[in-house]
């Protein structure tokens, strides 16, 4: 018996900046996980993964991550992905520069 499909989103790294990005329902890349299209079906996930991978001039390292919905907003279920949402581990770069 196969494992039930869990909600997922497509993620990658922006080619030029290296920032973590997420594929939205309108085929854009957002730096905010809350903007990501939540995928509820394995076949749809495969198609969206192909859509993301077909943009090698925009992103690299495209893959699916598991998420859980909290108040309708996707949240990563794995520590690695939670860590990636915070940006680089040193300040004054990427998402964390806004916190200073």
Task: Please state, in angstroms and rounded to a whole number, the distance separating the CA atoms of residues 70 and 62.
Answer: 24
**Residue 86 half-sphere exposure, CB side, CA atoms within 13 Å?**
9
pLDDT of 7 reads: 95
What's the pTM?
A: 0.82
- Is the C-alpha dihedral spanning 71, 41, 25, 82 positive or negative? positive
pLDDT along the chain (100 residues), means of 10: 87 91 96 95 96 96 95 88 72 60
Task: Tell how many helices (H) and how many strands (E) occur in the chain.
Answer: 2, 5
Task: Please state, in angstroms and rounded to a whole number, the distance separating the CA atoms of residues 20 and 43.
Answer: 24
């Amino acid at each position: 018996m196969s494992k039930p499909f869990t909600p997922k989103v497509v993620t990658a790294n922006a080619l030029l900046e290296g920032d973590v990005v997420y594929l939205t329902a309108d085929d854009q890349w957002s730096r905010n996980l809350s903007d990501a299209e939540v995928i509820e079906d394995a076949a749809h996930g495969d198609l969206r993964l192909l859509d993301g991978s077909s943009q090698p001039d925009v992103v690299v390292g495209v893959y699916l991550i598991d998420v859980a919905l909290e108040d309708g907003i996707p949240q990563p279920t794995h520590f690695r992905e939670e860590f990636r949402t915070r940006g680089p581990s040193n300040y004054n770069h990427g998402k964390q520069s806004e916190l200073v």
